[in-house]
Amino acid sequence: MPKLLKISLYFYCALFASALQADTELDPPEILLGERLFLETRFAQYFKKHLDQGGSMNRAITKGDPALTKTTRFFGLPPYQIPFADGPYAGKTYNCRVCHLVDEHVEQQELGMRSYSDFASRSPLPTRDDGQTTTVRNAPALVDASLPRENFILHSDGEFSSLAQLVRGTLTNRNFGWLPGEKSAAIEHICKVVQADHGTSELATEFGAISYSEAFSGTTQKNKPIADDYLIPKALRLDIQKASCDEVFAAVANLIAIYTEDLVFTEDESALSPYDLFLEINYLPKTPAKNESHLAYSQRLLGFIQNLKKNNKLQFVTKNPNTKDGAFRFHARPFQFGAQQLAGMEIFFNQAQHDKTAKGNCIACHAAPHFTDFGLHNSGITQVEYDAIHGSGTFNKLSIPNLSARNQHPDRYLPATHQHPERTNLFRAIPSEANPTTVDLGAWNVFHNDDYPNSQERIQNLICNNSNPPCQSDDHALKRSIATFKTPGLRNLGHSAPYMHNGKISDLHAVMSFYISTSANARSGSVRNADTEITNIMLTPNDIQPLVRFLESLYEDYN
């Protein structure tokens, strides 16, 4: 082993030992309270129904939501997803964690760890009588969701412009069993749960055995300060018994957002990916320079690596310095960055216009270090799913209204919201054989939609800025938003399958095959509203394996 690598590995072992010691310490109180609220199972509409039928607020529910009996897993073949294992929240009602799992199934080889996502292509929904059984889209991983960037948007279609907005929307929407138009009822119910909590539940005992009133006020019922471990900052405190329900709801959403914002592990030294360790031991820059774009940084990084390779000075990673056996703790893959991973990285980063083979052009949308541009793109996956149901070429023939026609009949075309519960969700729906007019058009549903005012400028920037040709009108911009979805990050993909916004691709090899096919179709002009960058992908089947090995080098080992 080269001396430099030995020194580097010793350094990381020391860091890991320090991190293990730090893990015994509690998180800051505001994050602990946010986590408790994230795990709270009484905010769902199903629990309100339990209360309406005479159930107790502070005792276990008599009958849990049937949708939680099993954890659903995607298989890639009909029926695509099935109830697979006992659900961790069976006998209870929905909380945030149901769709954003972590280690609930870590002991089951077929399931394992999660990066705050579930195992379904489309997540099961709480039981209501509206006929909906799953979400329209795949649950996004929450890890790294809060990374700062320009034009900050969240959810696949850019519906939210902050984590607090996302939390408020989730707590009052169908994910928790609330139908469009029931927002006020949801807020009142959540407020009632928080105000009436006694701090005696199993969840409360894991977080200091204090009531929410005590946790939010910072004092016990006997007016004594609570323990420092659970004393949130003064700026976040609230007398929830005197506050309005809107104030209580805002405080709850804010604490959950603070917790979620903390789910960033990319720079955790005890969870370094093989890729990050490869950069470290070769003294390569891990982040862009000041005022350098992520794309420019990625191109510069590739130049450094190719220069080291040319001079035979690259050092490779062969084992995990944070484990005794040198393997991942939570991935069934070798912990390594070697020649094959490097070959995949070169393909992934390659944008050379003259190169007609092995050109991934992946960094156009997935630039380092986060491997996402957080933008909106149409990869063609919506068309592939629709055409698979209705026949080749049918998505290109689907009638999609322009902005003027949509504005004339918003109830027919736009998604239902609390402001407009009568709307049909025609173009924010799972495509089905029974109804050829239903499809999911992504950001098209949010763009130029007055029900989402906070996202408009940001979506406009993502759709139209730096575009070629530029958007010529609002109608032209809306047309360019058809079937566009937010670019996901590519770190730790081993814990977030299945992939794509509809969860229709089960493994990374299939993802690569999809891009080989869809890029060829885009170049032939057969992909509706195809992203320009998709047409610049030039891959062959021989490129799949090294690309997959590179993506596996981005796996992380946090818990």
**pLDDT tens for residues 36-51?**
999 999 999 999 999 9
Q: How many CB atoms lie within 10 A of CB 206?
A: 12
Q: Which ranges in 319-413 belong to alpha helices (H)? A: 339-349, 381-390, 394-397, 403-408, 410-413
Residue 171 is predicted with a pLDDT of 98
H or E element at residue 84: strand 81-86
Distances, alpha carbon 484 to alpha carbons 121, 136, 233, 479, 530, in Å: 18, 15, 40, 10, 9
Those residues whose C-beta lies under 8 Å from the C-beta of residue 1, and which sit 6 or more positions away, are: none
Is the CA virtual torsion 501, 504, 507, 513 positive or negative? negative
Q: Each residue of 349-403: pLDDT tens digit?
A: 999 876 655 699 999 999 999 999 999 999 999 999 999 999 999 999 999 999 9
Residue 9 is predicted with a pLDDT of 38
DSSP 187-218: HHHHHHHHHH--S-SHHHHTTTS--HHHHHHS
SS3 131: coil
Rounded Cα gap, residues 550 and 424, in angstroms: 43
Does 8 score more than 70 pLDDT?
no
Residues recorded for the chain: 559
pLDDT confidence tier of residue 198, bands split at 50, 70 and 90 = very high
Rounded Cα gap, residues 521 and 332, in angstroms: 34
pTM of the model: 0.92
Those residues whose C-beta lies under 8 Å from the C-beta of residue 491, and which sit 6 or more positions away, are: 143, 144, 266, 273, 370, 371, 554, 555, 556
223-227, 380-384, 483-487: least confident range: 223-227
Query: Can you give the residue ranges of every domain in the chain?
Result: 1-26+266-375+488-526+537-559, 28-261, 399-438+443-482
CATH of domain 28-261: 1.10.760.10
Question: Minimal CA–CA distance to 175: which of 230, 105, 120, 108?
Answer: 120
Q: Each residue of 93-151: pLDDT tens digit?
A: 999 999 999 999 999 989 999 999 999 999 999 999 999 999 999 999 999 999 999 99
Those residues whose C-beta lies under 8 Å from the C-beta of residue 192, and which sit 6 or more positions away, are: 51, 57, 245
Does 191 score more than 50 pLDDT?
yes
Does 462 score more than 80 pLDDT?
yes
Residue 523 is predicted with a pLDDT of 96
Those residues whose C-beta lies under 8 Å from the C-beta of residue 44, and which sit 6 or more positions away, are: 65, 93, 94, 95, 126, 176, 177
Q: Each residue of 154-180: pLDDT tens digit?
A: 999 999 999 999 999 999 999 999 999
Those residues whose C-beta lies under 8 Å from the C-beta of residue 115, and which sit 6 or more positions away, are: 102, 141, 142, 143, 492, 495, 496
CA 557, distance to chain mean position in Å, is: 17
